[in-house]
Amino acid sequence: MLHKEGKATILLTLIFLFALNAGIGFLFPENEIVKNIFIVLSLAFLVIILQFFRNPKVVVTQNDKHVICPADGKVVVIEEVEETEYFKDKRIQVSVFMSPFNVHVNRNPVGGVVKYFKYHPGKYLVAWHPKSSTENERTTTVIENKNHVQVLFRQIAGALAKRIVWYVKEGQHVEQGGEMGFIKFGSRVDIFLPLGTKINVQLNEVVKGGKTIIAEF
Interhelix angle 7-27/32-52, nearest 10 degrees: 170
Told to judge if 187 belongs to the known catalytic residues of this protein, a careful annotator would answer yes
- In a 3-state reduction of DSSP, which class is residue 156? strand
- Terminus-to-terminus CA distance in the chain, angstroms? 34
Work out the angle at residue 152's Cα, subtended by the Cα atoms of residues 99 and 211, and round it to the nearest 5 degrees: 50
Which of 42, 95, 133, 187 does the annotation list as catalytic? 187
> Cα(143)–Cα(156) distance, rounded to whole angstroms?
17
Residues 50, 9: Cα–Cα separation, whole Å: 10
Torsion over CA: 197, 200, 206, 212 (sign) = negative
Cα–Cα distances (Å) from 51 to 10, 73, 126, 143, 212, in that order, read 11, 15, 22, 30, 21
Closest of 176, 189, 168 to residue 149, by C-alpha: 176
Give residues with Cβ within 8 angstroms of 133, minimum separation 6.
93, 95, 154, 156, 188, 190
The set of catalytic residues is: 187
